[in-house]
Amino acid sequence: MVFMHYAQMRQSYYRAKRRAYLSQKYKREHVRSSLNLVKFSNRCGNHVNCIRFSLGESWQHIAKKIEVCCVLRELKHDFLTEAIFLNGSRCDILDITEGVVYEILCSETEEQFLEKIKHYPETLRVLRVKC
pLDDT higher than threshold 50 for residue 1: no
- 1 in a structural domain: no
pLDDT higher than threshold 90 for residue 35: no
Give per-residue pLDDT as tens, 95-130. Answer: 988 889 999 998 888 899 999 989 998 888 999 999
Dihedral sign, Cα of residue 16, residue 17, residue 19, residue 24: positive
- 23 in a structural domain: yes
Burial of 79 (0-12, 13-18, 19+ CB in 10 A): buried
The count of domains in the chain is 1
- Of residues 46, 56, 124, the one with CA closest to residue 86: 124
128 bridge partner residues: 103
Query: Domain range spanning residue 93?
Result: 6-130
Q: What pTM does this model have?
A: 0.73
